[in-house]
Amino acid sequence: MPNDHHRLDVKAWKDRYPQLQIVAPKGSRGKVEEVVPVDTTAPDFGDPDVQFVTVAGTREREAALVVRTRNGTTLVLNDLVGNIRDASGIGGWLLGLAGFAGKSARIPRVVKWNLVKDASALRAQLLQWAEMESLKRILVSHGEPIEANPQQTLRELAGSLA
C-alpha cells in the first residue's frame, strides 16, 4: 500500500492471495487496517538494491521505492507526483484541476492538501533524490515515466514547495 488512499481493492487481493504480505507506510497503517491487517511498515524485500522509503514531510503516509540495477536507479513514486500529459475532456479538466495533469510533472494540489504536512522536509527529500547520479527514471502512478533529466525534474518539484 503506497498510502492509505489506495486501499479500495486490497481486501479482494488479500482474499485471492492469502499469502500476500501487506506493506504500508507507518502513518497509513491505521487506515489500511480498517480494511486488512498490515504485516509490516518496514519491509525487507531480501534484495539490498530495493529500498522502501517513507517519504519525508508526508506524515509518514506516502511510500516510495528506490530500485538500483547495473543499468541505473529507478525511483517509484505513487501520488506524490502527477505527470499526465494527454488529459482531455471533462476527466482531463478534473485531473488538471486536481494537479495530476498539465504541461509538466507536478506535485498535485490534492496531494499538497492531504499528504504534505512539512513542505521543507519533502523539499529536502526531493533534493536528496535529485543528487542520485545513477537516477535514470521516475515511475509515477499517475502519468508517464519521467526519463528526460529526472534529477532536474526533482529539483523543479522541490522548488515548487519553496
Task: Quick: pLDDT tens for 48-64.
Answer: 999 999 999 999 999 99
Confidence of residue 8 (pLDDT cuts 50, 70, 90): confident
Cell triple for 67:
530500485
Residues 18 and 53 occupy one common structural domain: no
Residues 69 and 131 occupy one common structural domain: yes
> Among 45-49, 62-66, 98-102, which stretch is predicted with the lowest mean pLDDT?
98-102
**Residue 98 pLDDT > 80:** no
Confidence of residue 86 (pLDDT cuts 50, 70, 90): confident
Residues 2 and 74 occupy one common structural domain: no
Rounded to whole angstroms, how far apart are CA atoms 92 and 63?
A: 26
Q: Which helix (H) or strand (E) holds 104?
A: none
Residues 92 and 12 occupy one common structural domain: no
Residues 89 and 18 occupy one common structural domain: no
Residues 33 and 57 occupy one common structural domain: no
Q: Would you state the pLDDT for residue 33? A: 95
Rounded to whole angstroms, how far apart are CA atoms 161 and 101?
A: 18
The residues with which 123 forms a beta bridge, in sequence order, are none
Q: Structurally, how many domains does the chain consist of? A: 2
**Residue 139 pLDDT > 80:** yes
**Residue 130 pLDDT > 90:** yes
For cell 471533462, what's the residue?
90
**Residue 127 pLDDT > 90:** yes
Q: Would you state the pLDDT for residue 81? A: 93
Output the average pLDDT for the chain.
92
Provide mean pLDDT across the span 76-84.
91
Q: Would you state the pLDDT for residue 6? A: 82
- Tell me which residue range forms the domain holding 53: 48-159
Residues 63 and 131 occupy one common structural domain: yes
Q: How far is CA 35 from CA 19, 75, 78, 104, 144, in A?
A: 16, 28, 20, 35, 30
**What does the longest C-alpha to C-alpha distance in the chain come to?**
44
